[in-house]
Amino acid sequence: MARVLSGVQPSGDLHLGNYLGAFRYWVADQHDHDALFCVVDLHAMTLDYDPALLATRTLETAESLLAVGLDPEVCTLFVQSHVPEHPRLTWLLECTATFGELRRMTQFKDKGGEQETVRAALFTYPVLMAADILLYEAERVPVGEDQRQHLELARDVAIRFNHRYGQTFVVPEAAVPKVAARVMDLQEPTRKMSKSVSSPLGTVLVLDPPEEIDRKVRKAVTDTETEVHYDPLSKPGVSNLLELLGAATGGDPAELADRYVNYGQLKADVTEALTELLRPARERFAELHADRGYVESVLAQGAAKARALAGPTLDRAMRGAGLLAPPGGFSA
Ligand code: TYM
């Protein structure tokens, strides 16, 4: 079975963009791939964060992933900081990636990369992400559109390392969905839905109750016209709603547009489709949240499995790069 790996930051509440752009593919992939999913807590430290909340958010992110349907019987779910091979491989890859490559990352620029006070780790963030992927010899990485450039970097770094030090890493491929790869903010439909930047009204959360989904969709920004068309450039708000409906019901956004003569009916159907889509996750989350011991045991098991895979890759990479191995190797 092909190996799949992906990750999510525990930097805030998980939203519909995460679900439609990534998680639902993770849930599908786990059945026919050797799949690993990671709560990337080290990545969440690259911007300002509250240390008093990080551990709780990490646990709740894991609970949310189980709630949306990850099954620890068939996939491996773990926390990045529980596997010390990640930061260790990052060093080798920082000695492989270049300053110029990292400076071109659009997410670094978007997150304020030009400011003097920005954390150095925000700059090297994509290298840690490359380590997450390369450690596990992942062939496929299901992500939303915003991660495509980071995936390109991971590929380039793997190819360069292999070329310089001999075959070490599998070169991964990004798997970006056709519909809803970039879910937009409901209040600012030219900007992607995100954990950090938008107004709360623009972001539908995976755990939102039905009345919140209804409120947010009803208030979603559209435009001053009245006709429903799919045209992301000239009608970003309406097109985003059509994409949400298409992703939730399996339809094509442009074809769905033909069914509607006004925005009100479209919004009502989007609300209903999203409510039904997210209902099971909300119910399951409540059960998991009440059983911390279970979730912690899933993560402990996941970390043990992840370490068993990551150790030999790290050892191979360290030796390949010419470092003197300690007795028992680098992963002992
Ligand atoms: P993160 O935590 O921002 O998001 C998790 C996943 O959700 C997708 N996503 C979206 N998809 C569609 N529309 C949106 N508005 C939207 N917002 C987020 C993201 O593309 C992502 O797939 N750097 C990564 C985490 C990471 C990772 C990795 C991913 C760290 N190491 C290794 C894959 C492999 C991130 O910040 O995702």
For a pLDDT cut of 70, what percent of the chain falls above it? 99
Q: How many CA atoms lie within 13 A of 75 on its CB side?
A: 26
- State the chain's mean pLDDT as an integer: 95
Whether residue 87 has pLDDT greater than 90: yes
If you measure from the C-alpha of residue 194 to the centroid of ligand 1, how many angstroms do you get, rounded to a whole number?
10
Whether residue 198 has pLDDT greater than 70: no
Whether residue 32 has pLDDT greater than 70: yes
Enter the pTM of the model: 0.96
State how far the Cα of 249 lies from the Cα of 188, in Å rounded to an integer: 23
Residues β-bridged to residue 36: 5, 76
Whether residue 31 has pLDDT greater than 70: yes
Instruction: Please indicate whether residue 219 is annotated as part of the active site.
Output: no
pLDDT band at 162 (very low <50, low <70, confident <90, very high): very high
What's phi and psi for 276, nearest 5 deg?
-70, -35
If you measure from the C-alpha of residue 317 to the centroid of ligand 1, how many angstroms do you get, rounded to a whole number?
26
The atom number, within ligand 1, closest to the CA of 192 reads 15
Consecutive H or E run containing 36: strand 34-39
Q: Express each pLDDT in 108-136 by its tens digit.
A: 988 887 788 999 999 999 999 999 999 99
- Residue 20 is given by DSSP the state I
State how far the Cα of 182 lies from the Cα of 222, in Å rounded to an integer: 17
Of 95, 88, 78, give the one whose Cα is nearest residue 8.
Answer: 78
pLDDT band at 12 (very low <50, low <70, confident <90, very high): confident
Instruction: Please indicate whether residue 111 is annotated as part of the active site.
Output: yes
Decide: 80 and 303 in contact? Cβ < 8 Å. Answer: no
The atom number, within ligand 1, closest to the CA of 181 reads 12
pLDDT band at 179 (very low <50, low <70, confident <90, very high): confident
If you measure from the C-alpha of residue 23 to the centroid of ligand 1, how many angstroms do you get, rounded to a whole number?
9
Whether residue 170 has pLDDT greater than 70: yes
Alpha-carbon distances of 164 from 86, 137, 312, rounded to whole Å: 21, 18, 19
pLDDT the model gives residue 287: 94
Which of 35-49, 189-203, 218-232 has the least mean pLDDT? 189-203
pLDDT the model gives residue 317: 98
The atom number, within ligand 1, closest to the CA of 193 reads 15
Q: Express each pLDDT in 284-326 by its tens digit.
A: 999 999 999 999 999 999 999 999 999 999 999 999 999 999 9
State how far the Cα of 189 lies from the Cα of 244, in Å rounded to an integer: 12
If you measure from the C-alpha of residue 238 to the centroid of ligand 1, how many angstroms do you get, rounded to a whole number?
24
Ligand 1 site residues (CB inside 6 A) read 5-9, 17-18, 21-22, 40, 43, 129, 132-133, 141, 143-144, 146-147, 150, 181-183, 192-194
State how far the Cα of 85 lies from the Cα of 71, in Å rounded to an integer: 24
Ligand 1 atom 14: residue of nearest CA: 17
State how far the Cα of 173 lies from the Cα of 154, in Å rounded to an integer: 9
The atom number, within ligand 1, closest to the CA of 40 reads 30
Report the amino acid identity of residue 160. Answer: R
Residue of 37, 147, 170 to test ligand 1 pocket, by largest number of atoms within 8 Å of CB: 147
Ligand 1 atom 37: residue of nearest CA: 8
Among 109, 195, 267, 305, the one annotated catalytic: 195
pLDDT the model gives residue 151: 98
State how far the Cα of 248 lies from the Cα of 232, in Å rounded to an integer: 18
Among 109, 192, 219, 267, the one annotated catalytic: 192
If you measure from the C-alpha of residue 203 to the centroid of ligand 1, how many angstroms do you get, rounded to a whole number?
15
Whether residue 75 has pLDDT greater than 70: yes
If you measure from the C-alpha of residue 182 to the centroid of ligand 1, how many angstroms do you get, rounded to a whole number?
10
Structure tokens of 195? 């954990």
For a pLDDT cut of 90, what percent of the chain falls above it? 92
Which residues, 6+ apart, have CB-to-CB distance to 5 below 8 Å? 35, 36, 37, 38, 132, 133, 136, 138, 141, 172
